[in-house]
Amino acid sequence: MPTNSLTPEAIAKLLQPYIGAAAVPPEIYRQLASYLQLILKWTSRLNLTSIRKPEEIVQRHFGESLFAGLHLGPCDSLLDLGSGAGFPGIPIQLLRPELPVTLAESRTRKAAFLREAIRTLNLKTEVWAHRAEAMPENQRLHTVALRAVDEMDSAVAEAARRAEEKILILGTRDARYPTLTNRFQLEKPIPLPNSSEGVLWIAQRVRSGAAL
């Protein structure tokens, strides 16, 4: 392991504020150590993340993704829209190995990284290496997750088209999502650990006859 990477034990300690008392298999920390090693290797030639310190990658990317996964609730399929380096989709897949997860990432080199990460971690995750708008019109998933995507309003609108039940957004406390319209109802934001402004927004689909 590169000297600038972290051990599974160090990763577990850094992630404790995000996981709390949740029962997380110890194997996840070994997988995250391999994932971190791969990110650090690829970041030398591809701008996967603006964060360079391994400890911050673990906290900001792994921790916040796992935090979202622990608030996912019942779910039978997940789309990570604008996945980038695999956040939050890959950590959620590690947390919920039985869950069908699709990573939508249109940038060719980042999609190649995602495939390499999936191969390295031996995951069943799928990669959609095109814009999410290009998915078959009738393709829907139970939950769509977003984190730090470009053109957020457009991305949220696409998430609303694809999500059957729920949208998870890792964003900020003062963010507004007008493209959700009245099809989804935002719950009270959940503060992210170690962040003054970061929150997890959960939007539930409003069914006919339900109160807005």
**Contact assessment for residue 132 and residue 167, using Cβ atoms and an 8 Å cutoff:** no
Q: Which pLDDT does position 80 carry in this prediction?
A: 98
Q: What is the pLDDT of residues 10-40, one digit of tens each?
A: 999 999 999 999 989 999 999 999 999 999 9
Residue 211 lies in a domain: no
Residue 122 lies in a domain: yes
Residue 86 lies in a domain: yes
CATH number, domain with residue 106: 3.40.50.150
Q: Which pLDDT does position 39 carry in this prediction?
A: 96
Amino acid at 74: P
pTM of the model: 0.93
Share of the chain above pLDDT 90, in %: 82
Its domain, for residue 168, covers: 8-205
Q: What is the pLDDT of residues 86-143, one digit of tens each?
A: 999 999 999 999 999 999 999 999 999 999 999 999 999 999 999 999 999 889 999 9
Residue 96 lies in a domain: yes
Q: Which pLDDT does position 148 carry in this prediction?
A: 83
Residue 137 lies in a domain: yes
Residue 152 lies in a domain: yes
pLDDT of 210 over the 70 cut: no
pLDDT of 202 over the 90 cut: yes
Domain count, the chain: 1
φ, ψ of residue 18 in degrees (nearest 5): -85, -25
Residue 52 lies in a domain: yes
Residue 210 lies in a domain: no
Contacts of 12 (CB under 8 A, 6+ apart): 26, 29
Contacts of 118 (CB under 8 A, 6+ apart): 90, 125, 127
